[in-house]
Amino acid sequence: MITDYTESNFAGIEHGNGVAVIRFHAPWCEPCRRSENQFDEAVTHFPAAVRAGKINVMQAPVLAAKYAVWGLPVVLIFKDGQEFARISGPQPASVFGEAVHNALL
C-alpha cells in the first residue's frame, strides 16, 4: 500500500523504526508522471514491513526543503528515521528494489 504523506502525517517516518520508501513528486512534473508506474510496480515487491509513500511537493513544501528536494522525481529511503539512500530522476523498478534490499540488511 502506498500512503500519501503530508507535513502533518510524516513524523511517523522521521521518528519511526524500520525502512520507508518515499517518492517526492509534483503534478506538473512530466518525468514524475512518466515514471510513476515504475515506483508503483517496485512497491508491490517490497516486504510487508517496508512502508511506502508519496509526497506532493506542492502540498508539502517544508518537507521538500528540509530534505533538499530540488529536482523531481526523488525517492528517499529512510532506515530507522534517517535518510539512508537517495534516488534521483526516473529509474526502473529494479533500482528501488536494490536500494530497499540494502536498507534491510
HSE-CB at 32 with a 13 A cutoff on CA atoms is 16
Q: What is the pTM of this model?
A: 0.94
Per-block mean pLDDT, blocks of 10 residues, the chain (105 long): 95 93 98 95 94 97 97 98 97 94 95
Report domain extents, the chain. Answer: 2-104
pLDDT score for 26: 98
Give the SS3 label for residue 39.
helix
Residue 23's DSSP bridge partners are: 54, 75
Quote the pLDDT of residue 41: 92
pLDDT in the model for residue 9: 95
Write down the pLDDT at residue 100. Answer: 96
CATH 3.40.50.150 fits 2-104, yes or no: no
